Chains A and B, each alone.
Chain A
Amino acid sequence: MPDSPFKVLPSITIGQTDIAVTRHGSSKKTVASILGQETDPATGHRTIWLDRLVHRADEARFDSGNSTWAVTGAISTILGSSQKTENKAR
């Protein structure tokens, strides 16, 4: 689902074992544990599986400062970095 044009992307901070999501206009944070992560050596594409849903039906991306993460998943959130983002990060 495309992001609303008015919407500021929720920001995400990714730690070793947990992540935290902060939404614009809210001082509350949503946290989740990381179940596992994989990086595709060919593309550099990184995928992180969380233990719960932290994205909403109308959210497609999270912002983590200098990169964005695609968010998908039906029963728990999957974070996926794009190749471009990863290259930028490098």
Chain B
Amino acid sequence: MSWYDALRGIKSRGSQADRPGSLGGLAAARRVHEGQFFTPDAVAALMWRIVTPAIERELEKRGPMGRVAVLDNSVGSGRLLQFADPAKHAIFGFDVDAGAVAQVGEQALAAGFECEFEHCAMESAKPRGFDVALINPPFSVHLDAPTIQPYACTCYGRYGPNSAAISHAYALAQALEAAYIVVALLPRTFADELLREPGAYLDADQSKRMRAKIDLPAGSFREEGTEVQVSIVVFGTGSYGHIERIELDSLDAPVSISPALVLYGRGRPSIGRCDVKDTGPSITLPVTGERKVRVVRDGRRVGLRFGCGLTEAKVMNAILRERVPSGRDSQHRYPKGVRFVGQGVFDLEVHLAQDEPVASFRAFVDLIGEAGGEAVVDEGIFGYLKRATRATRRQATPLRHTVFVQDGVAGAANQVEARPRRTQVADPKVWGSPVLEPNRTYGFERGEDGNYCMTIAGREIRLKPEDLYERFEVVTGAAESGWTVVHQGLIKAFPGVAQGWMARARAARIDEWLSWGYQFDDLIELAMKPVGTIAAWDMGLGKARLASALILLHGVRHGLIVTEAGLIDEMVIELKGLPIAADQWQVITSPHQASALRRINLISYERLRMPVQSDGSKKRMRKTYAGLMRRRAGVAVFDEGDLLSNPNSDQARACAQLSAKKRYVLTATPMANYPRDLAPTLAFAAGDGTAAQPWGWRRGKLEPNWRQSMIGAERGIDAFRDAFVTTQWVTREFEDTMTEGAKREIPRIGNLELYRQMVAPHIKRRIVEEPEVAQWIKIPPETREVVEVPWDHEHLRYYMEVVQEFSDFYLRSRAEPGKKNNLIAILARIRAVSFASDYPQYGVEGFGAYGKLTSKHRWVLGEIERLTKAGRKTVLYAENPGLIELIGRELGNRGVDVMPFHGKIPVRTRTKDLNTRFRYGPCPNLLATTGVTQKGLNLWQAQEVLMLSRSWSATTEEQAIHRLLRPQQKENVRVRYIHLPGSIDCYKAQLVQFKRDAARAGLDWGTPETEDADFLHLDTVIGRFVDDMVKLHQLADRDLRLWLDNIPKETAYA
């Protein structure tokens, strides 16, 4: 008679499930039975036999009262513990099967065991201090939980790095962490993999502990209704360097492991549930009867200070209510720090997001009273709230914005007919509101308030002009294309405040040098923003002057302008030209200057993150220039601030470390690459998850309903990604960070309307063409064209070989999605394809170099020679300095004067040459890399642009082209993109067009041109290219290579 007999009747879920007929069926069945198959008695007996000698030896040492602690981390009905003896063993286990685990606990207690059995999943436990672990975990169940411990077998999951794992690998790693000896029953394939590549699942110390792998005979699990092949893997303590491999014919066969397994000492066994922190009392104050509760403010946080533990318990529990759902029961991922349902009231920004912030805060104070406290609110909190309410209103008000609308401006007409741009609900806020179809027109009447009114199904719908333009196309009345103001801006909304700032500006005589109308108006609007904002002026509109004006207008003691190292000289020229005393500004180049700040301080991003020199002491010093200037700048202006879109870069961290009171980001391209790049910059400049800028980056997406409950609160990154980012697939890492990890992304804004709404209060956009700017600056419009140059047949063969290799590799890599190095390998191969097209002379690994000039190169050489003779100044852009040098040499041989300009030439030398030889000298041709010609440079002396290489980024290309499109430009600049037909140029062109389109749609209200077009991914473009080749020459796929080898000149792809 065994203590276990009463439990023998419990059947495993797996043994009762239908046998799956397919792989899909297997997954479905696994979801039902969660991998629960109990260990057959004969297998359990074998596992006990392996550990019994070590246990007996240890018991002798421990004496009659000693017990050996045995753990099973998926205990089920306790089959693996059935041979335990209350006089020798203490038994422990946990499982997700509440019914089974309750019965095991009951029987074990009745039998007199020292025991602990918990209803919890293995991912919610952190067991420690056991002697032996006997485990038969569920096989191949995907675990995803925030409480998963970081082991070698864990990977990126829903809850970030190391938050997902496969059940059997995780159970093994957990058991090894918990016990001296581990005997694990595992799938045969996994056991073999463990032997082959232990590092993939175990850390170095755990791997060394492996002692034996015992393959069990076929049919060992037949009584559970499965024919799975299994092995027992045995781990001991210490390192032996030899792993025994045993194949058993019978489960009764003797097994001996040499040298014998040994147990050492005794730990304190603990299951360690992760959802219960029994680390002591959470309330440590004595009970004094003091009911007073001080309400204090610390930044945006509200704190409560108690004098009595009981009052604290009553008040805090009444406010926080309960924990937010987490763990297995909740698939939702909360923002960092969100733990309780009622914690929203401790964030003043949540109160500020209410219609009546002060009333909301008062209700919170009243709650303290209702809970048994006596609230004493610190003086100043209500004053702060009132000021912050006004500031939030200003921060949330859209900045003045003028946009060009195609066939959609209603002009001054009082009655218009308009057609919806897409099928939509007339009033999205009203349930059952009529649907408007794009094939119908609707009549609108303009009211006295300037809004348009439509009556449909007896309901009156009122639209602001900007909403009308956005949602409808005006067809009669006054349908015309033109510029229209979609947001009137802060000067109109807060005229009193604006007057005050204007008076200050005039008193400081800023209006004398920031004199163009839009510049002065924008300065005032930007200054009216209480937190900061992004000034996204187009290139060449005077951002350098604006930076100085912002600091002077605020009247701060110390202001900071941060810019790129290559632009410091340009900024110095600008500052010298302004009526600012020389002792009022400086360029920071030493720690001493960073300590002795002046009114305007100029520093490069590179220096900002640089560690300052140690003072000679041995103390480890990692203070940077940013650290030296922390919290000392009243206003900081971040020129070319789109680099803040990577918040984890050293430069962005240094900018954050400055912790300036007000922050202005100046950039012509706030959407550095993809629409999502704006999110971190927005959070940096305008507030991270605040009432005025709710889209948090490190915080959550702030919603007014947080005042009532935090249930369902979203991480800012998740909310942003779901609303705006368009992807076909992403890795968990990308989902988590939105900056790292692999994804297949389409540069298109998901919810365009919401995106425009999001940026309206925080981006001051100005473009050259808009009327308020055009009256001061006239830049002749440029022309753009693509020149297709036929392939050279030898170059085509070379390119095809590289492309074919990419194609084969890509197909292989898609078949093995689990490989961690895939992304890096894919990027390396894409780079190879790009080199094979643009700069094959550099060579591609495995294919050697293609030594001759390509047809594209020859075309460019001929064109530059022709343009030089015609007296035109030309800028040629390529991506690689080597290619620039190659083209330079060839042109030199032809007697054409050129000036190379790339990152391998020292900054000083190349800047000096640029000024003396190209800008103000006789050299007619600049050969530049896009990398060093991106920002701040003025090249208005040239009129021709040749893009020899296409970039991956629309911003990079636009920045390069706009070097010529400066206010001083008098001619129409001609831009030509040189393509090889069907090559990677076409893919890059498409990518750039989508990115440019997304930026124009989001920032400038442009109608998306690519909205209906399919985005073709690189593998599709390459696949089509190969298909075209096959079709063009009527070949079978297999003949392609043969044809390439014998390709005749006249049939080259053109």
Q: A28 to B118: give the CA distance in the assembly, Å.
A: 11
Q: Chain B contacts of A51 at CB under 8 A?
A: 281-284, 309, 313
A residues 39-90 near B (Cβ < 8 Å) are 49-53, 56-58, 72-76, 78
Q: Mark A1-44, 1 if CB is under 8 A from B, else 0.
A: 00010111000000000000001111110101101100000000
Contact call A26/B325, Cβ cutoff below 8 A: no
Cβ of B340 within 8 Å of any chain A Cβ, yes or no, is: yes
Contact call A49/B98, Cβ cutoff below 8 A: no
Which residue of chain B lies nearest to A30 when distances are taken between CB atoms in the complex?
Answer: B278
* B108 to A: closest C-beta gap in Å: 7
* B115 to A: closest C-beta gap in Å: 6
Question: Contacts A6-B99, A24-B105: A52 and B282 contacting too (C-beta < 8 A)?
Answer: yes
Q: A54 to B273: give the CA distance in the assembly, Å.
A: 13
Contact call B106/A24, Cβ cutoff below 8 A: yes
Contact call A25/B106, Cβ cutoff below 8 A: yes
Cβ of B119 within 8 Å of any chain A Cβ, yes or no, is: yes
Q: A8 to B103: give the CA distance in the assembly, Å.
A: 10
A-B contact count, CB below 8 Å? 107
Secondary structure call for the A interface: loop
Q: Chain A contacts of B325 at CB under 8 A?
A: 57
Cβ of B1001 within 8 Å of any chain A Cβ, yes or no, is: no
Contact call A74/B99, Cβ cutoff below 8 A: no
Question: Contacts A6-B98, A24-B102, A30-B278: A78 and B116 contacting too (C-beta < 8 A)?
Answer: no
Across the interface, B313 reaches (CB within 8 A) one of A6, A28, A49, namely: A49
Q: A52 to B1008: give the CA distance in the assembly, Å.
A: 57
Q: Chain A contacts of B321 at CB under 8 A?
A: 74
Q: Chain B contacts of A23 at CB under 8 A?
A: 118
Q: Chain A contacts of B282 at CB under 8 A?
A: 51-53, 75-76
Contact call A25/B283, Cβ cutoff below 8 A: no
Q: Chain A contacts of B116 at CB under 8 A?
A: 25-28
Which residue of chain A lies nearest to B314 when distances are taken between CB atoms in the complex?
Answer: A49
Across the interface, A25 reaches (CB within 8 A) one of B104, B280, B329, namely: B104
Secondary structure call for the B interface: mixed
Q: Mark B302-334, 1 if CB is under 8 A from A, else 0.
A: 000000011001101100111101110100000
Which residue of chain B lies nearest to A58 when distances are taken between CB atoms in the complex?
Answer: B329
Q: Chain A contacts of B104 at CB under 8 A?
A: 25
* B736 to A: closest C-beta gap in Å: 24
Question: Contacts A6-B98, A53-B276, A75-B320: A27 and B114 contacting too (C-beta < 8 A)?
Answer: yes
Question: Contacts A51-B283, A57-B326: A75 and B316 contacting too (C-beta < 8 A)?
Answer: yes
Which residue of chain A lies nearest to B283 when distances are taken between CB atoms in the complex?
Answer: A51
Contact call B341/A74, Cβ cutoff below 8 A: yes
Across the interface, A35 reaches (CB within 8 A) one of B105, B276, B278, B287, namely: B287
Q: Chain B contacts of A7 at CB under 8 A?
A: 98, 102, 119
Contact call B316/A74, Cβ cutoff below 8 A: yes
Contact call A25/B310, Cβ cutoff below 8 A: no
Q: A26 to B282: give the CA distance in the assembly, Å.
A: 24
Contact call A57/B327, Cβ cutoff below 8 A: yes
Q: A15 to B309: give the CA distance in the assembly, Å.
A: 19
Which residue of chain A lies nearest to B286 when distances are taken between CB atoms in the complex?
Answer: A35
* A36 to B: closest C-beta gap in Å: 4
Q: Mark B851-888, 1 if CB is under 8 A from A, else 0.
A: 00000000000000000000000000000000000000
Cβ of B101 within 8 Å of any chain A Cβ, yes or no, is: yes
Contact call A56/B317, Cβ cutoff below 8 A: no
Contact call A78/B317, Cβ cutoff below 8 A: yes
Cβ of B187 within 8 Å of any chain A Cβ, yes or no, is: no
Tell me the count of chain B residues lying within 8 A, CB to CB, of chain A: 44
Question: Contacts A24-B102, A26-B118, A52-B282: A35 and B310 contacting too (C-beta < 8 A)?
Answer: yes
Contact call A26/B327, Cβ cutoff below 8 A: no
Q: A27 to B111: give the CA distance in the assembly, Å.
A: 12
Contact call B342/A74, Cβ cutoff below 8 A: yes
* A58 to B: closest C-beta gap in Å: 7
* A87 to B: closest C-beta gap in Å: 25
Cβ of B194 within 8 Å of any chain A Cβ, yes or no, is: no
Q: Chain A contacts of B108 at CB under 8 A?
A: 25
Question: Contacts A24-B105, A36-B310, A75-B282: A57 and B275 contacting too (C-beta < 8 A)?
Answer: yes
Q: Mark B341-358, 1 if CB is under 8 A from A, else 0.
A: 110000000000000000
Contact call B115/A74, Cβ cutoff below 8 A: no
Q: Chain A contacts of B109 at CB under 8 A?
A: 25, 27
Q: A63 to B211: give the CA distance in the assembly, Å.
A: 47
Q: A18 to B325: give the CA distance in the assembly, Å.
A: 28
Which residue of chain A lies nearest to B320 when distances are taken between CB atoms in the complex?
Answer: A74
Contact call A52/B281, Cβ cutoff below 8 A: yes
Q: A57 to B121: give the CA distance in the assembly, Å.
A: 14
Which residue of chain B lies nearest to A7 when distances are taken between CB atoms in the complex?
Answer: B98
Q: Chain B contacts of A75 at CB under 8 A?
A: 282-283, 313, 316-317, 320, 340
Q: Chain A contacts of B316 at CB under 8 A?
A: 74-76
Across the interface, A4 reaches (CB within 8 A) one of B119, B322, B326, namely: B119
Which residue of chain A lies nearest to B114 when distances are taken between CB atoms in the complex?
Answer: A27
Contact call B105/A25, Cβ cutoff below 8 A: yes
Tell me which of B113, B313, B316, B327 has the highest count of chain A C-beta atoms within 10 A of its own C-beta. Answer: B313
Q: Chain A contacts of B37 at CB under 8 A?
A: none
* B372 to A: closest C-beta gap in Å: 9
Across the interface, A78 reaches (CB within 8 A) one of B101, B273, B281, B313, namely: B313
Which residue of chain A lies nearest to B325 when distances are taken between CB atoms in the complex?
Answer: A57
Contact call A72/B322, Cβ cutoff below 8 A: yes
Q: A41 to B849: give the CA distance in the assembly, Å.
A: 93
Q: Chain A contacts of B309 at CB under 8 A?
A: 35, 51
Q: Chain B contacts of A73 at CB under 8 A?
A: 313, 317, 322
Contact call A25/B118, Cβ cutoff below 8 A: yes
Tell me which of B98, B276, B282, B325 has the highest count of chain A C-beta atoms within 10 A of its own C-beta. Answer: B282
Q: Chain A contacts of B317 at CB under 8 A?
A: 49, 72-76, 78
B residues 91-141 near A (Cβ < 8 Å) are 98-99, 101-102, 104-106, 108-109, 113-119
* A30 to B: closest C-beta gap in Å: 6
Which residue of chain A lies nearest to B313 when distances are taken between CB atoms in the complex?
Answer: A49
Which residue of chain B lies nearest to A50 when distances are taken between CB atoms in the complex?
Answer: B313
* A80 to B: closest C-beta gap in Å: 11
Which residue of chain A lies nearest to B115 when distances are taken between CB atoms in the complex?
Answer: A27
Across the interface, A52 reaches (CB within 8 A) one of B99, B117, B280, namely: B280
B residues 30-61 near A (Cβ < 8 Å) are none
* B780 to A: closest C-beta gap in Å: 66
Q: A3 to B101: give the CA distance in the assembly, Å.
A: 15
Which residue of chain B lies nearest to A36 when distances are taken between CB atoms in the complex?
Answer: B310
Contact call B115/A25, Cβ cutoff below 8 A: yes
Question: Contacts A74-B321, A74-B340: A33 and B102 contacting too (C-beta < 8 A)?
Answer: no
Across the interface, B117 reaches (CB within 8 A) one of A25, A53, A58, namely: A25
Tell me which of B101, B106, B119, B342 has the highest count of chain A C-beta atoms within 10 A of its own C-beta. Answer: B119
Q: A8 to B323: give the CA distance in the assembly, Å.
A: 22
Q: A50 to B313: give the CA distance in the assembly, Å.
A: 8
* B653 to A: closest C-beta gap in Å: 34
Q: A7 to B102: give the CA distance in the assembly, Å.
A: 7
* A19 to B: closest C-beta gap in Å: 13
Q: A56 to B98: give the CA distance in the assembly, Å.
A: 15
Q: Chain B contacts of A30 at CB under 8 A?
A: 278
Q: Mark B544-578, 1 if CB is under 8 A from A, else 0.
A: 00000000000000000000000000000000000
* B730 to A: closest C-beta gap in Å: 30
Q: A32 to B316: give the CA distance in the assembly, Å.
A: 18
28 A-B residue pairs with CB within 8 Å: A4-B98, A6-B102, A7-B98, A7-B119, A8-B102, A25-B116, A25-B118, A26-B105, A27-B115, A27-B116, A35-B309, A36-B310, A49-B310, A50-B313, A51-B281, A51-B283, A51-B284, A51-B309, A52-B278, A53-B277, A56-B275, A73-B313, A74-B321, A74-B342, A75-B313, A75-B320, A76-B316, A78-B313
Residues of A within 8 A of B (CB): 4, 6-8, 23-28, 30, 32-33, 35-36, 49-53, 56-58, 72-76, 78
Q: A28-B116, A56-B275 are in contact. List 12 more A-B contacts (CB 8 A).
A: A25-B101, A25-B109, A30-B278, A49-B310, A49-B313, A51-B309, A52-B280, A52-B281, A57-B325, A57-B327, A74-B317, A74-B320
